[in-house]
Amino acid sequence: MALLLIAAMGAQTGCGSSKATTDIGTQENTDTQGNTDTKEETGQTAAASVESMDGEVEKPEKITVLYDMGTLTQTAGLNEWIARWEELTGIELELITPDHDAYTDIVGQTFASGAENWPDVIMLSATEYCGYANEGAFWDMTDAWNNSELKKSGTVDTDIVEANMLDGHLYGFSKERGNGCITYIKKSWLDNCGLEAPTNYEEYLAMLDAFTNGDPDGNGINGDTYAVSAAGLLGTDGGVSTTYLPEIYQDAYPTFYQKEDGTWVDGFTEDAMKDAIERLKYVYEQGYLDRETLTNGTSDCRNKFFEDKFGVFTYWAGSWASKLKTNLESNGIDGELIALEPIAELDHYIERNATVMCITTSCENPEGVWKYFIESTCDGGDMQILWTYGVEGVHWSTEAETVCGNTYADGEFHMLENPDTPGAQFTNANTDPLLTINPMDDDPGKDAVSPEARASQEAFNANSKVDELPVTSDERSQYNGDLITLKRSIVTDCVMNGLSVEEGYQRFQEEHGQEWSDLIVESLNRK
């Protein structure tokens, strides 16, 4: 098994969203709030609630978990968080939390070390999840989920959970959405050009033209701006590889996906992708698209946006709406942004695959771990508050005080200063309240979320579709890395170097792209 799992780690290199997920997911993408109940009261309530659970499931004495807690380090109250979790459950928690940058390496080392060293629960990216699930490393939680009070509650977004189904079986649970990017448009630029937000591609192109050749920033100079910028023409793989230019890519999907009839295809070979490349060529040739798009990083795009150099920016939904607004205003620029609902030809935004919590086959009491650890993360009460906002007096408070220059009245919820980043408040403990699959009726931090962040997140949630899971195969592991490189090179040559789309796809044939694609499709259809 250990050798098979080492092979599965190798398969991740070419099996889909690994790089795309990492690039986007490690950016600043969470803002959260806290709880107003007292520690003593909530502790008694939660303990009673846990003890009143169905007695047929044995309560574990100890649970071992490998988890990326993000910014919740030992110096930032992690030990207090663990103590509070143990207080609520009466179970010992061994929480292994490597540094964020080392987490993927630790995961690989843990699986390779042998099943006797595996924890009860492990948090994984979608790519890791698919690879290890394919090797039989996880307990099948399908029945536990289907019979759970959580699913029966009717308050949970079951689509997010069941997007992790592999061949009808659930091996990993997502307590929150993966989130994704939504298009922001500077309202002042629209106003200066006498335009409304576009609803279709024709209106979108008219807006790009006005933003490029007119005077959208109102400085009296025509043609000193460009309309849209992005961090690259095409990402590494998966639907999120088109995420920064969704209105141009529209229904194109440049990698492998499963059709409604269950068969797998490579979307790069379809007419929708060829049409998308033609649109990219046109937008670039017209000067609407930032000439440095190919080499931009996301920080480059943000800085240019804050400097009022362009007006259309597809970026993270939710808390980033507030950050974009704040940074624009700090530069003396109007910060009002429109979070654009998908234009007619786009239909929906793509949501990245969420991280999952998996119970390994080494766990001696998987039913108990499911109930007391995984399911409880979305209990709508004390445990969910702990995952979302942390510990009262450590991460959040309702006392009258001034924190990081912000003054709060008695009873007003607020996050406390993060000792790891002096001068900045905690944003959350681990779960973003805007992304939870189970919104709390009595969310103590609901009033602390900015209106623009909530509006942005709600618009995205209502108009998005979860990306395809990066299902693995030996052939995908072997060929997909080179195939991605070739696809990106072809798109670049067509858009920036004058190559026709027909010539680009001739390259795809001549340089083994079609051959590799066919082998991968065949392997996926055998599964």
Mean pLDDT for all residues in the chain? 90
Q: Which long-range contacts (CB under 8 A, 24 or more apart) does 164-170 make?
A: 164/126, 164/129, 164/353, 164/354, 164/356, 164/469, 166/130, 166/133, 166/134, 166/469, 166/471, 167/527, 168/142, 169/140, 169/142, 170/140, 170/141, 170/142, 170/145
pTM: 0.86
Tens digits of per-residue pLDDT, 120-146?
Answer: 999 999 999 999 998 999 999 999 999
- Per-residue confidence band for 438, with pLDDT thresholds at 50, 70 and 90: very high
Predicted local distance difference test score (pLDDT) of residue 43: 33
Domains annotated on the chain, with CATH: 2-177+354-391+416-441 (3.40.190.10), 181-351+469-526 (3.40.190.10)
> By CB neighbour count within 10 A (0-12 exposed, 13-18 middle, 19+ buried), where does 89 fall?
buried
- How many CA atoms, within 13 angstroms, populate the side-chain half-sphere of residue 324? 31
Averaged pLDDT for residues 432-460? 94
CA distance 228 to 211: 9
294 pLDDT more than 70:
yes
Instruction: Quote the Cα angle for 194-198-200, to 5°.
Output: 140
| Cβ-based neighbour number of residue 31 at 10 Å | 24
* Lowest mean pLDDT, pick from 33-47, 66-80, 105-119, 158-172: 33-47
Residues of the chain with pLDDT > 70: what percent? 90
Q: How much is the CA Rg of the chain, to the nearest whole Å?
A: 24
The residue with tokens 């207080």 is: 87
Helix axes 39-51, 382-389, angle to 10 degrees: 130
Phi first, then psi: what are they for 158, rounded to 5°? -65, -25
pLDDT band at 241 (very low <50, low <70, confident <90, very high): confident
Is the CB of residue 296 less than 8 Å from the CB of residue 303? Answer: no
Q: Residue 383: pLDDT band by 50, 70, 90 thresholds? A: very high
Q: What is the pLDDT of residues 181-207, one digit of tens each?
A: 999 999 999 999 999 999 999 999 999
Please give the structure tokens belonging to residue 510. 């001549």
pLDDT tens sequence across 467-496? 999 998 999 999 999 999 999 999 999 999
Percent with pLDDT over 90 in the chain: 85
The one-letter amino acid code at 193 reads C
